Structure 1
Amino acid sequence: MRAEPPAWAPGPAQAAALLEEAADLLVLHRDFAAAVERCEAGCDSLGPGPGHESFAEVKCSLCVVGIQALAEMNRWREVLSWVLQYYHVPEHLPPKVLELCILLYSKVREPQVVLEVGGSWLGSQANRSLPEFGSLLELYLAQVLLPLGRFGAAEELVRGCPALDSERRLQLLGTIGDSRASWARRDEETRPGAEEQQDPAAETLLGVLSQKLLTMLTLLRRTLRSMSNHFYLLPYKKMLLATFLLYLVVVRLDPASPTSLPFIYKLVQLFRQAWAAVLSPVHRPPIGD
């Protein structure tokens, strides 16, 4: 069992000792959980916020070691919230910590996690004077905005960045334009696939409609079959008119549809039977003198 770390005087000395121990646990002993514990203890000893310049670098290093340890344990989802509990607001994050967060969430294909944090940090006037501002802007552009298709925000960010000279600004705007065109091409290529994926649903809908139509035609066929037993009671002209109206109904119901073919076949047979009944010697109309 590992011995408890000695009680250090609060302040940078304790944080520096905990940083050294956390680094040993991370690199030499591969004890990632213990490394995170030492980093948390060191950050707690330094207090909230960015801190004084005398120990700001120590706190930043503690966070870097903690980020690496959390990533090694596949706890990358906790990284951003874990860091912000020691700096409270995104604008106070050290450039190195923000860079690691962007690279980590880009690697796991979750760049949207750092979208607002990176935008807040880059939008801070206090951070624009930092020497790392330009490189972080380009990293945020390449790893967050462009993969998410935020082309308008990317162009606005590049045009409003004082750390970029005119040549570099034009190059980045060209990169944004190329990414926008590539995004549009991907949409065009995937659109036919999406339409093809909708075909089974359309076929299912057509199948339901065809089934309903077949049911309706079946009921109509049963009605006609029942009426056929009484056709001989109808006068000759009324019989022809009823047959003609039934023909119009069938045409309106699209006889070319495969589902209507059995019904049309039955209707033809029914028509022949009715015609034979009408023209039989018993029911043949008398011929006038």
Structure 2
Amino acid sequence: MDKELNFTIGKFSKKTGVSIRTLHYYDEIGLLKAQKDPNSRHRLYGEDHIVKLQKIVALKFLGYNLEEIGLMLMDTSLNLSLQNTLLQQLKAFEEKKQHLDKVLKANSRTISLLDSQENIPSEILINLINNIQSEQDQRTWLEHFTSKEIADKVYIKSEEENLSLDREFIDLSREVKRLVGKPFHDPEVQELANKHLQVSLKYVGEEAMYAFGKLEDEQIGDFQSMMASPYTEEEEKWLDQVIEYYMVQNGMYNPNSNENNVK
């Protein structure tokens, strides 16, 4: 360290902008050791302390903890070790940023939905949040089995479009829970099936729907398993049967044919 010890801890704190409490702690753990005045025992600092503190502050800003910083400061090849660890830090921060982006997106949409909808059942709300969380996995799957263009059309929508679709799915989910168990031919039930297909088509789009028609049932099942459902097993089974009945009645599906497509 510099033999010119011109700063008491108070002056050093003001010059560097680092609190006295923090400087005490750095001294105690050996990260930035002050010199002690032999008479007063006060902590004293010099210009070399400033240089070292600047390194500490910079490395801390980059995300390193104090233990890592201590080891790095002892490394004579700091630049080499810094490059290697920065690459690891960059990857970790990118992953954190992706997670934070998902959280912010989920928060924003949930707040907007709660502002515009009253008494949303908790299972429906949690379902929407879970689907936002798994959206990237869904998109990656869709790109792999269809194309990037189709995946972009499904998942790149304006916030206004997403909120509108969320509201429609909330209304549909409420209707499913209200009507579950009613006969398939009931006019209200058939209207529910029609709305469900229309909203699904609006969300997915015709190109994706056509691409889904070419996939194996097992592949479609894998995709559906990524999407959280607000329904119980009983509700899910009833809804599937309602939609199948509707499609048969409207000539959209023939259970005895191998070539079934939504018109």
TM class by shorter chain equals: under 0.3
Q: Please identify the structure whose Cα radius of gyration is greater.
A: 1
- Structure with greater contact order relative to length (CA < 8 Å, sep ≥ 6): 2
TM-score calculated relative to the size of structure 1: 0.23
Select the structure that is richer in helix: 1
